[in-house]
Amino acid sequence: MAQQAAQKLLGRLGTIGVGLAVAGGVAQTALYNVDGGQRAVIFDRFSGVREDVVGEGTHFLIPWVQRPIIFDIRSTPRVVTAVTGSKDLQNVNISLRILHRPEPSKLSNIYLNIGTDYAERVLPSIVNEVLKAIVAQFDAHEMITQREVVGQRISLALAQRAANFGILLDDISITHLAFGSEFTAAVEAKQVAQQDAEKARYLVEKAEQMKIAAITTAEGDAQAAKLLAKAFAHAGDGLVELRKIEAAEEIAERLAKARNVTYLPGNQNTLLNLPNQQ
């Protein structure tokens, strides 16, 4: 009897355990988590995509009937590259770095009309569209010198275009801007021509300065000659004699300082110290 009672008790416990396991499995499938920086929309097999957006936390749903679709609403970087034409018909290769995220209140429409891969489907097409419209308003030179203005106009137009799809753009920046080989060669040729022009202008200015210096020197020499002629005419031979005396004094001073020069009296025999010859 005791053995039968124990078997019945074990059977009941097994039945209860199976029931608890089934209930736990059902409860597990009826719960889902939405982490920080995420939002969820619910797809219902009978009513379709529900309009309400589910926030962070643990939530209930009806197993098999309902399914959560999780969206990341944090800013995500993406680089989009496009080739377009400028106002002066130059090919422009431009790359944009875009920080994008979905607008939480429009997640149901995004999933219903576009899908979870909304960025892949929308951003490349609208970036190409906006770039072709904005870049065509500037020539190549303006694209370089007014890069900030170009970036602002692209950002404004692209943000407005993306908002139509429920996409928010937190930041847009131009990371790469290049032109075709023909434009690059033309720029290099222009730089070489400018350098040659600067060199030629320097040579002309140098020649002009040398010419002015030569004229100034010639005018100085002519003025000096006039002054000397005037002095000679006024002083006669006296000025010449004065210059001779000054020159003689200068020569005498130099000879006096020379070591190999000896002064002798004017009436002394220079052969005084030589032995007499018989």
Question: Global pTM?
Answer: 0.59
108: pLDDT strictly greater than 60: yes
pLDDT reading at 59 higher than 50: yes
Does the pLDDT value for residue 147 go beyond 80?
Answer: yes
Q: How far apart are CA 129 and CA 150, in angstroms?
A: 15
Q: What is the pLDDT of residues 156-179, one digit of tens each?
A: 999 999 999 999 999 999 999 888
Compare 140 and 185 and report the one with higher pLDDT: 140
pLDDT band at residue 22 under the 50/70/90 scheme: very low
Q: What is the mean pLDDT of residues 2-25?
A: 55
Longest Cα–Cα distance of the chain, Å, equals: 183
66 to each of 111, 162, 239, how far by Cα in Å?
A: 15, 30, 127
Choice among 2-6, 92-96, 206-210 with the minimum mean pLDDT: 2-6
pLDDT grade for 4, boundaries at 50, 70 and 90: low
Helix (H, G, I), strand (E, B) or coil at 212: helix
